[in-house]
Amino acid sequence: MDHAQGGRTAHDYFRVIRRRWWLVLLLTLIGGGIAYGLSIQQAKAFKATARNLVQPVSLPGNFGDIFNSTENDPARSNANLAGLADSTDVAADALVLDGEFLPSGVTPDQIPTLTPDQLRQVAAAVPLAQSRALLKNCDAKPASDSDIIAFACSGRTRELANARANGYAKAFTLYVHQEQSQRIASVRDSLTQQINGFRQQIAAQTKAGNNDPTIRQLLGNALTQRNQLDNVIAANNDDTITRPAVGATQTAPTTKRNTVAGAALGFVVGIGLIFLLEALDTRVRSSEEVEEALGLSMLARIPTPPRSLQKENRLALLSDDEHAHAEAYRKLRTGLDFANLAPRARTIMITSSVEQEGKSTTVANLAVAYAQVGKRVVLVDLDLRRPYLDRFFGLQGRPGLTDVALGHVSLDDALVKIAVTGGPGAGGDANGNGNGHQERIVEGVLEVLPAGTLPPDPTMLIESPALGEILDSLSQRTDIVLLDAAPVLPVSDAMQMSARVGGAVVIVRGDMIRRPVLKEMARELEKSQCPLLGFVLTGAESDQSYGYGYGYGYGYGSGTGTGGRTQSKSEVGGAPVA
């Protein structure tokens, strides 16, 4: 919504959303439905995690630690160990242990009995691509606050995920033990050589009758370290998993989460779409927007006349069966009286932005409404390009305004009196004052001056002194003169006429006016040389949804429309077309 002053309020945003709430709901349902449909078609995936305590071996004496671990930084030690898990050798062992790869000649019952060396020989036959594929589905992560390493693997079934996680954890443990065993074996060989050397020295000293306690002390230290090393070897042979994987969880498809996410995405897209449509939509949505754009007050809302009246060119206030929406014209009469308190204009021009906004229908019913309360009213068809008032009163072909200006007929001969009888709401005095509930017959005087012969250039007649003399004469003999002028935007007639009238009323058809037209109308009305008394909103059954187009169809001559075809204003379906 495009406001001339200020920005949007929260109410404006809410109103935009409320207008197209169904679009948000539709896209939310579509988003959730698509996400649900894709999820249920997605292959299932499960993830299992096995946890094991895998520590580097600290060797006795000054032989150091396996894998360069450090007691002062256990987190770094665990990270180093976990990094070894990303090895195709470990993956190959895991594929054999979890049963995914079974070489010829080996049965599933034999796999648990394989020694580490036998396992390595069997795993050598595992294709490298298959090992790499397993590494993509598994990872090893060390805990930050303990020596536990978590081995997580994914699979198409719960059983496969559990088997992979347990096989991966055991394969890595065996791999680490094997690497540690090789280092331990070299350390044990070194200690054995030292012990044998110390024993040879002690034997030599005993034979020579010497007894050096230092050699015996070194021998004792070496024997103690070998005993400690034997204990390390025994502990290193434990390949039991601390916490095996037993309960794989489903990781895909996450149907509920995907459905909620899809619905949320649809909701966001829906909100964005309705604001995009709002930005592209130039329709005027409310009377407040018209008031703000034109800087005028609304005098009344006029609903669309029934088709029965439009088809026969009848006026609501002159029809045999009183229509409920006829009261809207009486409200317009009252609203115009209030707006005219200060100007006291006796000659009032009725115009619109473009054609087919109900201008002629409104001014004709307004004239009848004034006559019904005892006013002396003259209705003048000053739309010299496409006149229409003569159809309401059966005056086609009669001489009119232009003929009087040319001197072909007198004003009295051109004026046609229309019998008007006051109806409901006409009670009161001659000025129309009263409560409107009293049934009272008031004889009104309504005279109609049709347009007459259409001039080739209406501008010359509007600027002529003859027209001024006619208007002066009419204002002196009546209470109010109502002029049906041409629309403002297609031609300049109305703005030229503004210098000769006491006030003007603008007709705006809500369900066809567009914001660009409304803005252009506001710019044109700034040129008015008479007071603007307000605007009338026609087609106002609803203040929320309008949907018709507009067009400029005015030109010189007899009112030929686009394409060279003479178009009757009554051809526009369902609208007050005068």
pLDDT, position 322: 60
Neighbours of 478 (CB within 10 A): 20
**Residue pair 143/35 in contact by the 8 Å Cβ criterion:** no
For the chain, the first-to-last Cα distance in angstroms comes to 29
Q: Which tokens in the block code for residue 251?
A: 């990781």
| CA count, 13 A, side-chain hemisphere, 530 | 25
3-class DSSP state of 23? helix
- The CA distance from 423 to 427, in Å, is 8
> Smallest Cα–Cα separation from 455: which of 496, 401, 389?
401
**Residue pair 266/33 in contact by the 8 Å Cβ criterion:** no
Q: How many residues does the chain have?
A: 578
pLDDT, position 137: 92
Q: Across the chain, which distance is largest between two alpha carbons, in Å?
A: 167
pLDDT, position 12: 74
Which burial class, exposed, middle or buried, applies to 126 when counting CB atoms under 10 A from its CB (0-12, 13-18, 19+)? buried
pLDDT, position 359: 92
Q: Where are the beta strands (DSSP E) in 406-471?
A: 416-421, 443-449
Q: Which tokens in the block code for residue 270?
A: 């829906």
Which residues are within 8 A (CB) of 400 and not within 5 positions of it... i.e. 6 or more apart? Answer: 381, 390, 414, 449, 450, 451, 452, 453
- The CA distance from 60 to 90, in Å, is 28
* Type and span of the H or E element at 300: strand 298-302
pLDDT, position 566: 30
The residue assigned the tokens 């007691």 is 71
- The CA distance from 322 to 330, in Å, is 13
pLDDT, position 58: 61
Query: Looking at the whole model, is its pTM more than 0.75?
Result: no
pLDDT, position 196: 78
Q: What's the CA angle centered on 535, arms 532 and 539, to 5 degrees?
A: 160
Bridge-partner residues for 58, per DSSP? Answer: 65
- The CA distance from 490 to 129, in Å, is 78
Which residues are within 8 A (CB) of 100 and not within 5 positions of it... i.e. 6 or more apart? Answer: 130, 134, 160, 163, 164
Q: What are the pLDDT digits (tens) for 486-501?
A: 999 989 899 999 999 9
Strands lying side by side in the sheet with 45-53: 138-142, 148-155, 45-53, 249-252
Chain-wide mean pLDDT for the chain? 80
Q: Which tokens in the block code for residue 39?
A: 């999820």
- Amino acid found at 573: G
> Smallest Cα–Cα separation from 302: which of 383, 373, 360?
360
Neighbours of 1 (CB within 10 A): 18
- Residues in the chain with pLDDT values less than 70: 1-8, 55-78, 232-241, 285, 320-324, 422-443, 541-578
Q: What are the pLDDT digits (tens) for 11-41?
A: 778 878 888 899 999 999 999 999 999 988 8
3-class DSSP state of 573? coil
What is the four-CA torsion angle of 6, 7, 11, 17, rounded to 10 degrees?
Answer: 150
pLDDT, position 350: 95
> Smallest Cα–Cα separation from 357: which of 554, 192, 179, 202?
554
- The CA distance from 314 to 393, in Å, is 8
Neighbours of 46 (CB within 10 A): 21
Please give the full DSSP string across 486-511, using - where no structure is assigned.
Answer: PPTTT-SHHHHHGGGSSEEEEEEETT
- Amino acid found at 375: K
- Amino acid found at 498: S
Which residues are within 8 A (CB) of 101 and not within 5 positions of it... i.e. 6 or more apart? Answer: 92, 95, 123, 125, 126, 130
Q: What's the CA angle centered on 473, arms 472 and 474, to 5 degrees?
A: 95
Q: Which tokens in the block code for residue 439?
A: 């049934």
Q: What's the CA angle centered on 518, arms 517 and 523, to 5 degrees?
A: 95
Phi-psi domain of 564 (left: phi exceeds 0; alpha: psi -120 through 50; beta: other): left
**Is residue 387 reached through a cis peptide bond, with omega within 30 degrees of 0 on the bond before it?**
no
pLDDT, position 73: 61
> Smallest Cα–Cα separation from 267: which of 35, 2, 38?
35
DSSP state of 226: H
